[in-house]
């Protein structure tokens, strides 16, 4: 029987099952995966998704099941980063010929980007958070206070000010059309500054633990926290809280966008359907696989149990997909989280011009300036090849193409 993955193996290490047939797979990413696979607490094997590429410490596009330890860098610093999407009752033919005003309305409704070095005048944070955001923060605050009581340095930075904000980099808000002409709202973001503080703090604590016990690793960023230790318990508590913050962040932004689009005179009146998805792709979950309870860390991967709905976005100029999981056990019920980079941000800025980017995003209402060249479509793998490589992981439910894209 043909299998949908290739196997990488080295003597004395767990294997790597990689759903990378027909897509670029850089040597640096392979080495990172081999480093991961050599850790003694890996359960069965490491799975690599077709969008796999080199990351900091752990590989983006990796699924890492562990028993007895967790690796903070395998989650990274954008804890709970993920996607949310909802189908509206709007139709393509109801959109105006020029979508500039729609994009401006979204940009005005959701703080995005970063200025003032993230300081008091940062345009990417709320100066006075709306009532709904304050209410959501009141629900999150007790958990946050419990974490900060044990790790005070985590309290030094914005929390409420970032809730319901987009951020920078590859985070985005889009209006998309599906194959039937229905309009979707889709966005990508995570736990913002507070998640970054939590991730960075525990990565450093894990490195201190490795030094304390004279544990030498092939990559210092693979430092881990053994189960049963105080830092392990604190990290799991903090990461689960940050994941809740991230999901709330996306929900609040989606609500803000929908309200903005409903402003009188902008678009025809519309509602929302029951087609909605909110999924993480940088996170840790307690799961059961191959007879063991374990922690599954997905860094740039989405859970795809049988029937699970997920979102796999392309680049700024490529299609995106709403998918349904097939429950493939060998991938630990996972799929890719996007197209995956083939160029670093610096390389993309050297390789592409503003004119290249404008051509690649023709027909899409979005930024077309030098500050977003690192996100240009050519910096990513072809999404169609990525989808073909994971045909045994997910089935496509809807195919989306963006018509408006807001970037930080």
In sequence order, the 6+-apart residues with CB closer than 8 A to the CB of 1 are none
Residue 286: count other Cβ atoms within 10 Å of its Cβ: 10
Q: Is 100 marked as binding a ligand?
A: no
Q: Is 318 marked as binding a ligand?
A: no
Q: Is 78 marked as binding a ligand?
A: yes
Q: Is 42 marked as binding a ligand?
A: no
What whole-number distance in Å separates Cα of residue 187 and Cα of residue 196?
19
What whole-number distance in Å separates Cα of residue 91 and Cα of residue 94?
5
Q: Is 338 marked as binding a ligand?
A: yes
In sequence order, the 6+-apart residues with CB closer than 8 A to the CB of 355 are none
In sequence order, the 6+-apart residues with CB closer than 8 A to the CB of 161 are 122, 125, 126, 127, 129
Q: Rounded to an integer, what is the distance from CA 121 to the centroid of its chain?
A: 26
For the record, the structure tokens of 177 come out as 């059309």
Q: Is 190 marked as binding a ligand?
A: no
Active-site hit among 43, 231, 337, 357 = 337
Q: Is 333 marked as binding a ligand?
A: no
- Sequential DSSP letters for 218-232: SSGGG--EETTSHHH
Q: Is 50 marked as binding a ligand?
A: no
Q: Is 332 marked as binding a ligand?
A: no
Q: Is 268 marked as binding a ligand?
A: no
Using CB atoms within 10 Å of the CB of residue 209, give its burial: 0 to 12 exposed, 13 to 18 middle, 19+ buried. middle
What whole-number distance in Å separates Cα of residue 337 and Cα of residue 383?
11
Exposure string (b/e) for 136-157, b if CB count within 10 Å is 16 or more?
A: bbeebeebbeebbeebeebeee
User: Minimal CA–CA distance to 169: which of 71, 84, 78?
Assistant: 78
Q: Rounded to an integer, what is the distance from CA 165 to the centroid of its chain?
A: 15
Size of the chain in residues: 408
As beta bridge partners, residue 64 has 297
For the record, the structure tokens of 394 come out as 């997910």
Q: Is 274 marked as binding a ligand?
A: no
Q: Is 339 marked as binding a ligand?
A: yes
337 is catalytic: yes
DSSP 269: -
Q: Is 313 marked as binding a ligand?
A: yes
- The annotated binding site is made up of 78, 170-174, 188, 281-282, 313-316, 320, 337-340, 407
Catalytic residue numbers read 337
- The annotated binding site for GMP is made up of 170-174, 281-282, 313-316, 320, 337-340, 407
- The annotated binding site for Mn(2+) is made up of 78, 171, 188, 281
């Amino acid at each position: 029987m043909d299998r949908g993955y290739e196997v990488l193996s080295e003597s004395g290490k767990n294997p790597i099952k990689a759903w990378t047939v027909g897509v670029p797979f850089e040597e640096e990413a392979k080495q990172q995966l081999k480093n991961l696979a050599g850790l003694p607490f890996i359960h069965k094997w490491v799975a690599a998704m077709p969008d796999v590429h080199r990351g900091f410490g752990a590989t983006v596009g990796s699924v890492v099941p562990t028993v007895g330890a967790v690796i903070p860098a395998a989650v990274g610093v954008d804890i709970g980063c993920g996607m949310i999407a909802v189908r509206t009752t709007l139709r393509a033919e109801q959109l105006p010929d020029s979508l500039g005003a729609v994009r401006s309305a979204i940009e005005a409704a959701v703080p995005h980007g970063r200025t003032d070095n993230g300081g008091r005048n940062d345009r990417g944070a709320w100066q006075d958070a709306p009532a709904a955001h304050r209410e959501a923060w009141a629900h999150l605050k007790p958990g946050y206070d419990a974490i900060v009581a044990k790790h005070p340095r985590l309290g030094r930075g914005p929390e409420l000010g970032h809730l319901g904000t987009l951020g920078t980099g590859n985070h985005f808000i889009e209006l998309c059309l599906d194959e039937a002409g229905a309009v979707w709202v889709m966005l990508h973001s995570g736990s913002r500054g507070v998640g970054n503080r939590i991730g960075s703090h525990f990565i450093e604590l894990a490195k201190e633990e490795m030094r304390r016990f004279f544990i030498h690793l092939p990559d210092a960023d693979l430092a881990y926290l053994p189960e049963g230790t105080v830092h392990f318990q604190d990290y799991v508590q903090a990461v689960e809280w940050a994941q809740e913050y991230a999901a709330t962040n996306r929900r609040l932004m989606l609500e803000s966008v929908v309200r903005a689009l409903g402003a009188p005179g902008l678009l025809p009146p519309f509602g929302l359907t029951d087609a909605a998805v909110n999924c993480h792709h940088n996170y840790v979950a307690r799961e059961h696989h191959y007879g063991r309870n374990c922690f599954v860390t997905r860094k740039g991967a989405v859970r795809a149990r049988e029937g699970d709905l997920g979102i796999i976005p392309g680049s700024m100029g490529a299609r995106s997909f709403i998918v349904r999981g097939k429950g493939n056990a060998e991938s630990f019920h996972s799929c890719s989280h996007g197209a995956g980079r083939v160029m670093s941000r610096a390389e993309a800025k050297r390789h592409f011009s503003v004119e290249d980017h404008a051509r690649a995003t023709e027909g899409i209402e979005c930024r077309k300036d030098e500050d977003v060249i690192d996100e240009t479509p050519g910096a990513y793998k072809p999404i169609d090849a990525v989808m073909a490589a994971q045909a045994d992981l997910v089935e496509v439910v809807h195919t989306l193409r963006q018509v408006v894209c807001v970037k930080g």
